[in-house]
């Protein structure tokens, strides 16, 4: 298998985009990724589009709008990990030698939110499950509501410096505590927003990368996708299993990571996944957040982009957007949200309903 490099990324801001079509958002992200990679649309040989909410043949609609070139187009749906799965397919296409240059994109457009005058439905589905996980973690390990809220504070601060984020205002602990309760003890600021958006990333063989870009072009050192283990937890145990395989493939340890973009649809997930990824002992994730270890200037910066809680979670683009953030952080192009230490090794992690975990590892040479 050949070594694969990431050479460009582009995004369309996440958020409530009532006036933007799915195709408009997708073509903006793709055009920006091409510009970042110093490529033309005609250079792209194959496209994988992660999408879950926007309807039929989204990748084809966007590619056709970019121009008819006869390239291969594949739509990928894998719940919240749809974009991550699309990126993995693009990496495998290049690593196998089937293609020299591939593009992974993610796009989704949620239906309009009901008017504010519409009565709110009682909390249901995932939020109830994560509220229970939160209560259990607090009871078993002494995790505090302030530690959970600090995840949201950090997330909103990072996102306030990110032009592509859904939310772009910093918040205080008090504001997180006093926000509308969704499912005890989670207020709305412990939960990611619904929204729309698009992201795109270009990958190519290591040899080809130098022909197009003189910038840092990180190599993909591991790409691992796993599903639920027998008798295991479908998020934490599965993440631990997937990450360990990825570490072994890349020849690193968790302590080698300089940046982690991880799945944090709810604040408790960041704390639990810190533990699952081996960055601390089980039950100690809240203390890492409280100590500032996960901040931009911390030992293990987590979600410098703002994460799902504040950047947003449009589903299709989410995993691709994580990789865009990693690329720009490795190139030190993130301005005020730039991670303080050099980012040489990084992880992108996503889970999805139904039992899927994807971990990608990157190395800047």
pLDDT digits (tens, 9 = 90+) for 97-134: 999 999 999 999 987 666 655 555 666 678 999 999 99
CA distance linking residue 87 with residue 327, whole number of Å: 13
For the chain, percent of residues with pLDDT exceeding 90: 90
CB 216 within 8 A of CB 8: no
Residue 2 has pLDDT above 80, yes or no: yes
Whether the upstream peptide bond of residue 338 has omega within 30° of 0, thus cis, is no
Contact yes or no for 176/167 (Cβ under 8 A): no
Using 50, 70 and 90 to split pLDDT, how confident is the model at 235? Answer: confident
The whole-number average pLDDT for the span 319-346 is: 98
For residue 48, which phi and psi values (nearest 5 degrees)? -120, 125
Report pLDDT for 123. Answer: 65
The answer on pLDDT for 154 being more than 90 is: yes
The pTM of the full predicted model, rounded to 2 decimals, is 0.96
Per-residue confidence (pLDDT) for residue 116, from 0 to 100: 57
Q: What is the separation, in whole angstroms, between the first and last Cα of the chain?
A: 19
- Mention every residue, 6+ apart, whose C-beta is less than 8 A from residue 214: none
Residue 241, classed as helix, strand or coil, is helix
pLDDT for 119: 59
Say what the pLDDT of residue 122 is: 61
| Low-confidence winner among 99-113, 246-260, 267-281, 334-348 (lowest mean pLDDT) | 99-113
Spelled out in words, what is the top-level CATH class assigned to the domain 4-111+194-212? Answer: alpha beta
Q: What contacts 143, CB < 8 A, 6 or more positions away?
A: 134, 137, 271, 283, 285, 286
Give the residue among 9, 10, 18 at the shortest CA–CA distance from 196: 18
Confidence at 47, pLDDT banded by 50, 70, 90? very high
Q: What is the mean pLDDT of residues 238-261?
A: 97
What is the structure's pLDDT at 95? 98
Q: Is 278 buried (19+), middle (13-18) or exposed (0-12) by CB count in 10 A? A: middle
**169 contact partners, CB below 8 Å, separation of at least 6:** 156, 160
Tell me the pLDDT tens digit for each residue of 56-94: 899 999 999 999 999 999 999 999 999 999 999 999 999
Enumerate long-range contacts of 68-75, CB under 8 Å, 24 or more apart.
69/41, 69/42, 69/44, 71/44, 71/45, 71/46, 71/47, 72/45, 72/46, 72/47, 73/46, 73/47, 73/49, 74/46, 74/47, 74/48, 74/49, 75/48, 75/49, 75/51
pLDDT of residue 53: 86
Report the range of poorest mean pLDDT among 35-49, 186-200, 221-235: 221-235
What are the residue boundaries of the structural domains of the chain, listed by start? 4-111+194-212
């Amino acid at each position: 298998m050949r070594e694969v490099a990431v050479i460009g990324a582009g995004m369309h801001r996440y958020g409530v985009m009532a006036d933007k079509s799915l195709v408009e958002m997708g073509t903006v992200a793709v055009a920006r990724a091409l510009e970042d990679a110093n490529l033309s649309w005609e250079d792209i040989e194959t496209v994988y589009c992660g999408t879950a909410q926007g309807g039929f043949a989204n990748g084809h609609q966007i590619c056709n709008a970019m121009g008819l070139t006869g390239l291969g187009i594949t739509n990928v749906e894998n719940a919240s990990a749809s974009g991550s799965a699309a990126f993995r397919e693009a990496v495998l296409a290049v690593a196998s030698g089937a293609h020299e240059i591939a593009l992974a994109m993610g796009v989704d457009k949620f239906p309009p939110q009901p008017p504010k005058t519409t009565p709110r439905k009682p909390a249901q589905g995932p939020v109830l499950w994560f509220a229970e996980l939160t209560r259990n973690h607090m009871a078993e390990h002494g995790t505090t509501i302030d530690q959970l809220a600090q995840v949201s504070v950090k997330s909103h601060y990072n996102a306030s410096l990110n032009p592509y984020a859904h939310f772009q205002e910093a918040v205080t602990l008090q504001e997180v505590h006093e926000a509308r309760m969704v499912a005890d003890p989670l207020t709305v600021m412990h939960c990611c927003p619904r929204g729309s958006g698009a992201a795109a990333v270009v990958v190519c063989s290591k040899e080809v990368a130098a022909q197009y870009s003189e910038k840092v072009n990180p190599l993909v050192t591991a790409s691992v996708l796993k599903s639920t283990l027998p008798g295991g937890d479908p998020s934490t145990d599965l993440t631990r299993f997937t990450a360990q395989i990825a570490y072994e493939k890349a020849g690193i340890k968790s302590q080698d990571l300089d940046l982690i973009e991880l799945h944090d649809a709810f604040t408790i997930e960041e704390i639990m996944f810190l533990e699952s990824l081996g960055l601390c002992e089980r039950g100690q994730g809240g203390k890492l957040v409280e100590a500032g270890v996960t901040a931009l200037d911390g030992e293990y910066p987590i979600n410098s982009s703002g994460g799902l809680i504040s950047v947003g979670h449009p589903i299709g683009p989410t995993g691709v957007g994580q990789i865009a953030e990693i690329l720009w952080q490795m190139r030190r192009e993130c301005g005020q949200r730039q991670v303080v230490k050099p980012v040489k090794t990084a992880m992108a992690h996503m889970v999805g309903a139904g039992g899927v975990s994807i971990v990608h590892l990157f190395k800047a040479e």
